[in-house]
Structure 1
Amino acid sequence: MKRFFQRLLPLAIGKYFNLLVLFAPEKVAHKAYLLFCTPRRGKVLPIQSDFLADAAYERITVEDMEIQTYRWEGKGRKVLLLHGWESNTFRWRNLIGFLKEAGYEILAFDGPAHGHSTGKIMNVIRYTACTRAVVEAYQPDYIIGHSMGGLTAVYHQYLHPENSLKKIVTIGSPSDLEDLMLQYKRILRFNDAVFRALDRYLKRKFGFGIREFSTAIYAKDLNIEGLLIHDELDTIAPFRASEKVHKNWKGSRLIKTKGYGHSMHQDFVSEQVMDFLNT
């Protein structure tokens, strides 16, 4: 019964949006934006706390957010880890083991509205602002991002090429905001009028429309080594996203897997990351 209502709720919201857009397109766009940016999951679970307790904690203030950072000491270079949507720093538990063994200093933080960080919404703009603050505070040498974290890493580098980063790794990361919004549209089944209202809303709020935000475009300006790992059967972020970014990113390498899914926790993935960092 619970699953039945969970399936019906998105459709009910979509029908509400389709009706509301007839009378208040700006209002429906704002509501659609907030829903799109509000995570349902991602807080630290009790079973995850013991692993994170080994790190040194520090909270930093970014705009109206209190961001929880984690640091595992090491004598090697510094690696910053960016998790994806509805996740937290615990998702890196497997890779952290590899990084510890190799002696790297490991940095991470919970994104806005995720883990132990505050906030109610997360989007690439807020995530990038937090990434910028952490990079300035800790001066990492490398960034590794999964899914939205990888997208944020590329966007951050595009905005701030002057930083001291040497390499970026993206794992199962999307590229085009349009792909994400079309998926959102299919789930809720809202109509084109709602989509257009949301496009205008984002243009006013952030200066780019749905079809204008693309890390594949931003990658043309990157002057840094990159590694992209993506599964060709990924149902969350399409493999073509990494293909497009790789095509435009000089100095990047693309590794394709099959059957690893979206999370990409396998040792093979960690081994490829380590090889890239160590060379």
Structure 2
Amino acid sequence: MPRQSSNRLEVQVVTQAVSSSSPAASAGPAPVAKAPGNRPAALPAWQRLRWQAGSLVSPSATARALERLWFTPPRAAPTSAARRFLDSARSDWALVTGQGPSRRVRVYRWGDAGPVVLLAHGWGGHAGQWHAVADSLVAAGMRVVAFDALSHGASDAGTRGAAQTSVLEMSRSLLAAAWHAGPVHAVVAHSLGGAATALALREGLPARAAVLVGAPADMHAACAALAWQLGIAPAVLARMQRHSERWLGMPWSAFNVPEIGRSRPVPPTLVIHDRGDKEVRWEDGAAIAGAWPGAELVTTEGLGHRRILQDAAVIGRIADFVRPREAGTEMAPAAALAVN
């Protein structure tokens, strides 16, 4: 169940007046071995010296090491609440095709009637993290579908093995789950799942609404920030990115979430971000909301990057946003939606 909270939600209707250039470019380094788009964190001097030395002595090997680090998600063991939640689901498989043999994505479903809301977890996450949100959406009369992306949870390994994956592969997992369970009315995504959702929308996912919670804005800038933190030379970073572009099949510039909203039609979108998020900067959410036409930005205080998915006020705001509107009705103005 969602946790009760008196945290203030500040709701803003964001227009193009908010800068949508990548905030991560000036945000400093990202922590090591966590999700792309992170805030900077302290790095022991000896680790930085090792990366600096490798960058000078063996740039090719250092580029390969950086590539492994960047594309290796952390592992999150499900909590007892998450396990109970997944055990209560009807589960089956969707298939991701292309780039070799078909691979299975585990899909979970709750609810028997109503529009389908697809839930997309973040980097290193799993479908069980959505238990509080899903319970409220089902209670509000919606069907809920969640999935484990490739190389996450119970799904098959991705094309680079069980230890590695990418936001592109997460997006393909999302599309597979959507086509399998659709038609999808709305997508609710957390963290890197937000970037995966943006890529899926660019590929034609026909969602009528989207909610991005704690989403990073620009993978290229976030990776550059990580390299800066490690002391890796720009030439080594460029080598790593050129190599990964070959197997990704697209340039790193394609992973800019604000740019997707500027260049492609996107559905009405709610962006929710905590001011004190220690993993993805609040400015990333503001940049996305500023670039996506008509998007709303909801700013929370004191919920961080993960507890935000357990907060009753946030969950209520999500349910209200994705609930289908009757013909001729409009969403309430921002001032009326502020929650104290």
Distance 1:192 1:98 in 2: 46
Q: 1:120-269 counterparts in 2 under 5 A?
A: 120=162, 121-139=164-182, 140-160=184-204, 163-185=205-227, 188-206=230-248, 208-210=250-252, 213-220=255-262, 221-263=264-306, 264-265=308-309, 266-269=311-314
Query: Is residue 116 of structure 2 the alignment partner of residue 72 of structure 1?
Result: no
Which residue of 1 is the match for residue 37 of structure 2?
none
- Indicate the larger mover: 142-151 or 205-214: 205-214
Change (3 A) 1:194 1:17: farther
In structure 1, how many angstroms separate the alpha carbons of the residues matched to 2:169 and 2:153? 15
Whether the 8 Å CA contact 1:226–1:252 is kept in 2: the answer is: yes
Is 1:97 the counterpart of 2:135? The answer is yes
Give the C-alpha shift of residue 208 in structure 1.
Answer: 4.8
1:141 is paired with a residue whose SS is: strand
- Residue 60 of structure 1 pairs with residue 94 of structure 2: yes
Aligned to 2:316: 271
CA positional deviation for 1:154: 1.3
Indicate conservation of the 8 Å contact 2:92/2:107, yes or no. yes
Q: What's the secondary structure of 1:85's corresponding residue?
A: coil
> Deviations for 1:248-271, whole angstroms, at most 9, x for unmatched residues?
211211111122111112111101
Q: Cα RMSD over matched residues? A: 2.5
Deviations, residues 186-212 of structure 1 (Å, cap 9, x unaligned): 554433332222232234333555456
TM-score normalised by L of structure 2? 0.72
What secondary structure does 2:131 align onto? helix
- Counterpart Cα distance in 2 of 1:48 and 1:189: 38
Kept in 1, the 8 Å contact 2:275–2:300? The answer is yes
- The alpha carbon displacement at 1:33 in A equals 1.5
Equivalent-residue separation in structure 1 for 2:69 and 2:46 (angstroms): 14
Distance 1:234 1:124 in 2: 20
For the residue of structure 2 that corresponds to 1:107, the secondary structure is: strand
> Which residue in the other structure is 2:16 paired with?
none
Q: Aligned equivalents of 1:28 and 1:191: distance in 2?
A: 10
Counterpart check, 1:39 vs 2:73: yes
C-alpha change, 1:107 and 1:206, in structure 2 (3 Å) is same
Give the drift of 1:80.
0.4
Structure of greater relative contact order (alpha carbons < 8 Å, 6+ residues apart): 2
Aligned residues: 270
* Cα distance between partner residues in 1 of 2:85 and 2:127: 10
How far the C-alpha of 1:127 sits from its partner, in A, is 0.7
Q: Which moved more, 1:28-37 or 1:182-191?
A: 182-191
Structure 2 counterpart SS, 1:164 = coil
What do residues 65-110 of structure 1 show as CA deviations (whole Å, max 9, x unaligned)? 3211101123110000001112111111111111121121110101
Cα offset, 1:14, TM superposition? 7.0
Q: CA deviation at 1:37?
A: 1.3
- Give 2:214's aligned amino acid: G
Q: 1:10 to 1:54 in 2, by over 3 A?
A: farther
Once residues 83 and 100 of structure 1 are traced to their aligned partners in structure 2, the CA distance between those partners, rounded to angstroms, is 18
List runs of 5+ in structure 1 lacking aligned partners: 1-6
Corresponding residue of 1:4: none
SS in 1 for 2:255: coil
Q: Structure 1, residues 146-172: CA drift from partner, whole Å, max 9, x if none?
A: 001111111210122xx4311111001
Tell me, yes or no, if the aligned pair for 2:71 and 2:166 is still in contact at 8 Å: yes
Q: Which has the higher helix share?
A: 1
Deviation at 1:21, TM superposition (A): 6.0
| Structure 2 gaps, min length 5 | 1-41, 326-340
Task: Provide Cα deviations, 1:123-181, integer angstroms capped at 9, x if missing partner.
Answer: 11111111111111111111000001111111210122xx4311111001001113421
**TM-score of the superposed pair, with normalisation by structure 1:** 0.86
CA contact (8 A) 2:94 2:180 kept: no
| Residue 60 to residue 43, structure 1, CA distance change in 2 (3 Å) | farther
The one-letter code of the counterpart of 2:116 is K
For residues 107 and 113 of structure 2, what CA distance do their matches in structure 1 show? 19
- Which residue, out of 129, 135, 147, partners 1:109? 147
2:104 is paired with a residue of what secondary structure?
strand
